[in-house]
Amino acid sequence: MAVSLTRIGPDSWEIMAMRSMAATLVEEIAQAMRHMAGRALL
């Protein structure tokens, strides 16, 4: 999946992907965030 990830501020990111892949991208980012949150609890 081709994605452009750009940091635009200390706490801000711009994420761009093709519209046809947007739902998949959102799910993958949400899953990664859940995994990272779980690791923080260890």
Q: Are 35 and 28 in contact (CB under 8 A)?
A: no
* Strands annotated E in the chain: 3-9, 12-17
> Side chain identity at 6, as an amino acid letter?
T
Run of H or E residues at 35: helix 22-40
Q: Retrieve residue 25's tokens.
A: 């991208």
Q: What's the whole-model pTM score?
A: 0.68
Structure confidence at residue 7 (pLDDT): 97
Residues making up the chain, counted from first to last: 42
Q: How confident is the model at residue 5, as a pLDDT?
A: 93
**pLDDT tens per residue across span 1-42:** 789 999 999 999 999 999 999 999 999 999 999 999 988 888
Q: What pLDDT is attached to residue 41?
A: 83
Q: What are phi and psi of 26, to 5 degrees?
A: -60, -45
